Structure 1
């Protein structure tokens, strides 16, 4: 019992507040749990030098043992006592006409529900309020508070910004990462389901292209198709998570940001770290399975490039999700945009055949840069030998070099030239891909920050 309240209490402590107000922390707990929780609260007050105000109804003697100052309020919100436990017991016995008894029993007598037949509790409450007023302790307390407020420099009073900064960025990031890891363990969509779906997809692609060898006359076409399908399926699986999670988390982030639990930057970076960790694992396993079953080359370079491409694709998904009001809207926006990006890779259409006024379009597609890099990595240091009579592509035939009387040799340069790219564009394509990665994330963060601040 009381799990929701204890979770709310633990969450509020992440900001290290100087003053904590806790309403009924022991409700729904057994005696042992209530006592243990109160001891934890007291240790926080002592070790962290925090002022903790706890609202309790009829506390037991065990709970009273960990309390320093009592502030007793009766029906109607009237003040009946303020002071230490010893002073409280003396006050109730000597001035409120109560017999000698433990403090918890005195409180029980005063706070017992009023009865139609016997209104003794109401009489005792009136006596306590009157006697406390006559003692002058309430005036002394009021004067003490006023003098203290006058002595405080207004510049020393912490603002909301100061309170937020008191919890360091590293601390915010640490607990956000911890929560994200716990959420990932419990959320099978990100861990088990998606991981096995990628494994099954990798095995299917591996089986389909298992017999693709360099001796095959359709080797270049088959490998080109494998590269395209491989990356498109991997990108869609990872992007769908980002498109769904960011809009679904919006209300929660607004609520917790309003309570100054963490900054928007800490939230976004924690998401980025967790997503990157997952991208590294999923891409490594996915590419490793396909490389082991097909004739793809340069495994390590291909894995690193895949991770970079997936991160860029998810950055674009984060931007789409940032401007979307719901996960459904994000998915609807993403589909036509990604289809346009795919069409501009050069796989479906020769980009040089585009009208002159449209030839700038491929440069706004991160998939164009990614596809060019994939081709260069795959065909790097790859030479093919075919019988000259069987070279079916006119382009390949004219670019191939005669090896001997009955064999034609096709070099890696010949192959990538057919795809209208070259080794000289590697740096340019890499710079373009990285620029899109950072650009998408910066824009997504700005939009998320603006939407959260506007929702306050």
Structure 2
């Protein structure tokens, strides 16, 4: 048995001499081989992006996909991961341990991309703790999760900045660029994936930090048996020499696949000798580039190099290696955390982000306190006469307006930033869309409940509303229900709209229509039939009716004095008469609460359907 395992390891780790490799003999399902055979990718217009591309990556290797702009390296990486392929037709096979998995290698791989998808308000350790909850399998204990997080931080040299905020490059100062790159790797290493894909891991880093990042990749391949594939752009000579193998692409074809010294020999045999004191990577990319001034000659050269590679010994050896590793072998299945754990981890992440975001939490609560005091002083000590009655009506409608506009536009200002991480983590199969959606809703609800309470409490008694505890509580709950309804619409529009600009464009007319049919500006009984139905979709209508009925039924408004110069027929002598003149029904006070809650749920469901459609279409 041990002999069989050794033979398997020797085959899989053929990129390095086994006696110099520290990986050791492992169970076969911990070592993963990736093959891609005859991949062809074309656009709807018929343009060929990849044409018959084949290759192989085995454990212990770091493979660099290289080539000039437009060569197809990013397309190849996306094809292997089944990402960003909308509008493209893909042919060929992708094999993992000999199994044609059809939908890319997401289930056994990690994808290290740009690091600006982090939530900058979290610390390094908080981020990794949450990722451990999301990525580690069910049954993992709290102690085991903490141990794994500490191991990853030590491996990625993140102990020093562990309690530092991540920050957002160019917006909020946080950890350094190198630390952010290492955090990107640490995030993907939490669940110890056998295959790692890196998209431009050295972009934006200086030469020293780029070298450190690539050495980290080499160490993971050498010591942990990882299969690592990365795209890279213009590496330094020191970085270039670290890669075990390089895959040069030209016009969607393979110009070379093998070790660096073999690449130098192959290009030399084709008449392209690397000049002295020249970075080989720069020379090869320049040789394979299509220069506009001599496009036809460049295309002819690339075609010649690709044709010669197909007939070379190196391609024969690649084919032999692919045959040696094509046998079907088992893979360790990856299990996500349980749904309750996913919900809690996501809720905790978004709640922390909301609390620490001053524009959401602090500014919003201060704004509501200020506006509450403003309403209180503006309508301070209203009398129960005709002028006072008009002001009471205006104050009640202003509650709805304030709760509506600040809430909906506040949500739409911040929620779009969550979309890129959602798409990426959904593609990585870390959690379902429903877990994100529910957690996001739950993280917003406390904020958009407390601020409404602050608005009412800070203004209610200043205005002169009835000093009745029951009326006061009903006013608070009505405002809470209004804000829940508004928050639902804000989240749903943001989740469905393809961009922030479209979300705002759609929201403006909606709010105008709902406010005009709310009852203050138009008598609901007099609205034309073609628009009358809109009121039943409007929290302005439900909320305003409940606020008016709750207030004007009180004994404080049993006797409203008329102005001396006022027409007797136009005088509203009591609260019930004012209610009747609105065409409101006193029996609808609690019914409106139910209607708003029901409408909130319906809006959330519609928003969820739109979000699912948008995320899936974006793939």
| Distance in 1 separating the partners of 2:356 and 2:563 | 60
| Distance in 1 separating the partners of 2:507 and 2:414 | 14
Match of 1:361 in 2: 534
Whether the 8 Å CA contact 1:172–1:266 is kept in 2: the answer is: yes
> Of 136, 144, 150, which residue of structure 2 is paired with 1:16?
136
| Distance in 2 separating the partners of 1:420 and 1:341 | 17
| Distance in 2 separating the partners of 1:346 and 1:252 | 42
Give the C-alpha shift of residue 246 in structure 1.
2.8
Cα 1:330–1:211 change in 2 (3 A) is same
Whether the 8 Å CA contact 1:396–1:415 is kept in 2: the answer is: no
Give the C-alpha shift of residue 388 in structure 1.
6.2
How many correspondences in the alignment? Answer: 351
Whether the 8 Å CA contact 2:489–2:603 is kept in 1: the answer is: yes
Question: Do structure 1's residue 426 and structure 2's residue 569 form an aligned pair?
Answer: no
Whether the 8 Å CA contact 1:247–1:324 is kept in 2: the answer is: no
| Distance in 2 separating the partners of 1:441 and 1:268 | 9
Give the C-alpha shift of residue 434 in structure 1.
2.2
| Distance in 2 separating the partners of 1:378 and 1:29 | 59
Whether the 8 Å CA contact 1:396–1:418 is kept in 2: the answer is: no
Match of 1:225 in 2: 394
TM-score, length basis structure 2: 0.49
Whether the 8 Å CA contact 2:449–2:484 is kept in 1: the answer is: no
Q: Deviations over 1:376-435 (max 9, x none)?
A: 1111223333556749464565x75xxxxxxxxx3x422311221122233543333222
SS in 2 for 1:423: coil
Alpha-carbon RMSD = 4.3
Question: Do structure 1's residue 448 and structure 2's residue 611 form an aligned pair?
Answer: yes
> Of 485, 494, 514, which residue of structure 2 is paired with 1:312?
485
Answer with 240-249 or 221-230: which moved more.
Answer: 240-249
Cα 1:236–1:157 change in 2 (3 A) is same
Q: Which runs of 5+ in 2 are unaligned?
A: 1-114, 119-123, 139-147, 163-181, 197-212, 229-240, 246-276, 278-322
Whether the 8 Å CA contact 1:23–1:56 is kept in 2: the answer is: no
Match of 2:548 in 1: 375
Match of 1:289 in 2: 458
| Distance in 2 separating the partners of 1:349 and 1:261 | 50
| Distance in 2 separating the partners of 1:350 and 1:69 | 73
Cα 1:56–1:30 change in 2 (3 A) is farther
Q: Deviations over 1:106-149 (max 9, x none)?
A: xxxxxxxxxx9xxxxxxxxxxxxxxxxxxxxxxxxx99x999x6
SS in 1 for 2:352: helix
| Distance in 2 separating the partners of 1:51 and 1:252 | 19
Q: Deviations over 1:77-100 (max 9, x none)?
A: 49xxxxxxxxxxxxxxxxxxxxxx
Match of 1:299 in 2: 472
Larger radius of gyration: 1
Match of 2:559 in 1: 385
> Of 582, 590, 599, which residue of structure 2 is paired with 1:436?
599
Whether the 8 Å CA contact 1:248–1:326 is kept in 2: the answer is: no
Q: Deviations over 1:309-368 (max 9, x none)?
A: 101011122222223222222112211110110000111122333334443332232321
Question: Do structure 1's residue 175 and structure 2's residue 345 form an aligned pair?
Answer: yes
Question: Do structure 1's residue 247 and structure 2's residue 416 form an aligned pair?
Answer: yes
Cα 1:275–1:359 change in 2 (3 A) is same
| Distance in 2 separating the partners of 1:265 and 1:360 | 31
Cα 1:184–1:371 change in 2 (3 A) is same
Cα 1:367–1:395 change in 2 (3 A) is farther
Whether the 8 Å CA contact 1:344–1:351 is kept in 2: the answer is: yes
Whether the 8 Å CA contact 2:408–2:486 is kept in 1: the answer is: yes
TM-score, length basis structure 1: 0.65
